Amino acid sequence: MLPAVASGLALGLSLIVAIGAQNLFVLRQGIRREHTLAVALVCAVSDALLIAIGVSGLGAVLHAVPWLIDAVRWAGAVFLAAYALLAARRALRPSGDVLGAGDESIEAGGSVAAPPTRSRLLPALLTCLALTWLNPHVYLDTVFLLGSVANTHGGDRWWFALGATIASFLWFFGLALGARYLARWLATPRAWRVLDAVIAVVMMAIAISLVWPR
């Protein structure tokens, strides 16, 4: 039991700790302190569901309908490209609202400005769900790879799944809560423009990689 849990925890962390669309969104929400716990919970629960699908053997159904993965791939590419353009727009035309370490806006000169405009909960959660469920790499990692490795543990496969699920919860909540400490270094409009520019480049690169001929 314990070896299976430890194995699932280790493999889950090794797969999830990487720069990607989902992690960047969680990071940005954590830095802005907007719906942090709700976003982390959506990501972690989504991973748990996908891991359960893979371990239960339902992942084989996806192999039988390859067009479904292609549909997800193109939908994900379109969504990521649109998100990248929005991030690029924020980088080129910042609103001037920046969330500082003390939950208040700080302009480049150090003066305190008006509180930043907070995003609403529902759009944030829908964006989080789209970045998770429209990313074919998520299916490859959680449903296929983790599911396949879990089934090598025989009767302990669900303990393996538990370890992988714990890894997801630890990572997403750790990333979301830990990101708050980065706010002090992102307390100027210039810093947020750089962050949004990085997000735009990474999101667009992922979008292109999803549809680029292999």
Give the chain's residues under pLDDT 70: 19, 58-66, 68, 94-118, 186-187, 213-214
Instruction: Measure the CA–CA gap between 125 and 3, rounded to whole angstroms.
Output: 35
- 31-90 confidence digits (pLDDT tens): 888 899 999 999 999 999 999 988 887 666 666 666 767 777 788 788 888 888 988 888
Please report, in angstroms and rounded to a whole number, the separation of the first and last CA atoms in the chain.
40
- pTM (global) more than 0.95: no
